[in-house]
Amino acid sequence: MPFRNLEETILSSNLCTSCGACQVGCPSDIIRMDGLHPKLTVDTDAVCGTCIDCLTVCPGLDTGVPESEQQLFGRQRQVEERWLGIYDSIHAGCSTDPVLFECSASGGSVTTLLASAMSCLKLDCVVVSGREPQRPWRAASVVCYDPAELPKTAQSTYQLFAHLSILKDLFRENSSLRVGLVGIACQIQALRKLQRMDNFWGKLAREQILFVIEIACSSSTAPSGTETLIDSMEIPLEKVKDVRYREGSYPGEFVVYTQDGQKASTTLWEAVRHFKNHKTHRCLSCGDWMSGLADISVCDGDPNIFKSSQQEVSSFAKHGTILVRTQTGAKVLEWAKESHVLKTWSTVIGGANLGLERKRNRRAHYEGLQLPIPEGPIPGYRELIDVIPDEQLIPSLNQND
Ligand SMILES: Cc1cc2nc3c(=O)[nH]c(=O)nc-3n(C[C@H](O)[C@H](O)[C@H](O)COP(=O)(O)OP(=O)(O)OC[C@H]3O[C@@H](n4cnc5c(N)ncnc54)[C@H](O)[C@@H]3O)c2cc1C
Ligand code: SF4
Ligand code: SF4
Ligand code: SF4
């Protein structure tokens, strides 16, 4: 019966973020992610008993932000902190390694901080995004044990995947691993909920996941977005060797590498335009650009990567904006600076980020509809703005493909 609570509250209302946390949190181990969808692996749900851990850990409706903030910071965010959350300091930054700088999304701050955390916090591994070995156009979590391998996993992956589900197998293999993780808002919210749970997996997540970094998320895209884009480039999926979303000169292009050594590309803004028809209800109505619950959060320093992508040569000096939230985050940032792998300089952050503006407006639109939507980070708070539709924010997004 209790799994049906998850089905009724989350799955049938299209509120699932596909984070994979329910697979990890289930003490009976009867949930498996089937692609983006949690499924019971047994025919009867009688084994569920009285447990509701899958619903408790789920960020689909209840993101758990106020409770997690209370635990992390001893307070909840104020209205003026609605979109960025609680943070201690803010920096512009990028990697000092020219190779990583080039192959990263916005200067490689995240990859640099992950590698620094491995040294500074003596982590055994970090969980990042990669590709499925059998279907290399599909996103999948990857565990990286060697910091030298991390640049290969840099860049943004504009595709949904069940990021957290890998944790159960990882800890089954070795429950004493010291782990770091990079993710987007819904994944970090689920992880923090898992870490607050009073069960075996909650305890492991609490004690072994020691560094968490997040990247901002305007919205992600179902795998069909990537698949149909590759199809429109007339490349059969079985020929794909790798897919990169931000390859080459800033802000990068959508690039497909094939088994026979060919490379095909399309501009980032054309890819973004294509992806708009492959969004889930959960992503469109999402109330968080950043969870605000990571040790460090990073967004692009560029206020409008869409515009940069439409210019032949971007005039923007590639870098990221880094928000440090916890003492652990501050320690890792200092380590990276003292090791001369990260350079930082002062910056301010206003509302000037196209992804954030799109998110605020979409959220305000959904708050006015009579549909189930995820809770925002401040209980009862509603966005009080005149909604600017997407076609006004980015007119060229709505030309036909
Ligand atoms: C779906 C999505 C939407 C985004 N929307 C915005 C936005 O609106 N505004 C903005 O300023 N920035 C946005 N970003 C973040 C931005 O694209 C960069 O990721 C960020 O600026 C960090 O750049 P970097 O060079 O420091 O990271 P890099 O050094 O390139 O490293 C990025 C790290 O993030 C991991 N990663 C990439 N994609 C995912 C994913 N989907 N899930 C989990 N981990 C992942 C990679 O494995 C890598 O470890 C978005 C990213 C994604 C994936
Ligand atoms: S977490 Fe509990 S309710 Fe959910 S599927 Fe597992 S046993 Fe059933
Ligand atoms: S949002 Fe995450 S925890 Fe909730 S049902 Fe979906 S995959 Fe499971
Ligand atoms: S828009 Fe929200 S639900 Fe969708 S991937 Fe981003 S953080 Fe998760």
How far does the centroid of ligand 3 lie from the alpha carbon of residue 280, in Å?
13
8 A C-beta contact, residue 398 and residue 99: no
Distances (CA, A) of 137 to 166, 226, 227, 255: 18, 7, 7, 11
- Ligand closest to Cα of 40 equals 2
Q: Which pLDDT belongs to residue 401?
A: 42
| Residues of the chain with confidence (pLDDT) below 50 | 400-401
pLDDT of residue 398: 63
The four Cα atoms 60, 25, 210, 19 give a dihedral, to 10 degrees, of -30
Pocket, ligand 3, Cβ cutoff 6 A: 6, 10, 16-22, 38, 57-60, 190
Q: In this structure, what are the phi and psi dihedrals at residue 9, rounded to the nearest 5 degrees?
A: -80, -35
Give DSSP secondary structure letters for 198-219. SSHHHHHHHHHEEEEEEE--S-
Round to whole Å and give the CA distance between 22 and 55.
7
Q: Dihedral angle at the C-alpha atoms of 231, 234, 238, 239, nearest 10 degrees? A: -140
Ligand 4 binding pocket mutation candidate from 182, 286, 299 (most atoms within 8 A of CB): 286
The C-alpha angle with vertex 335 and arms to 334 and 339, in degrees rounded to 5, equals 115
How many Å separate Cα 58 from the centre of its chain?
15
Whole-angstrom Cα distance, residue 391 to residue 61? 28
Could you tell me the strand order of the sheet in which 209-215 lies? 139-144, 125-131, 179-183, 209-215, 296-300, 320-324, 89-95, 342-345
- Chain centroid to CA 352: 20
Q: How does pLDDT run across 369-386, given as a tens digit for each residue?
A: 989 999 999 999 999 888
Is the CB of 319 within 6 Å of ligand 4? no
Q: Is 296 helix (H, G, I), strand (E, B) or coil?
A: strand
Q: What is the pLDDT of residues 244-291, one digit of tens each?
A: 999 999 899 999 999 999 999 999 999 999 999 999 999 999 999 999
Protein residue closest via CA to atom 4 of ligand 3: 58
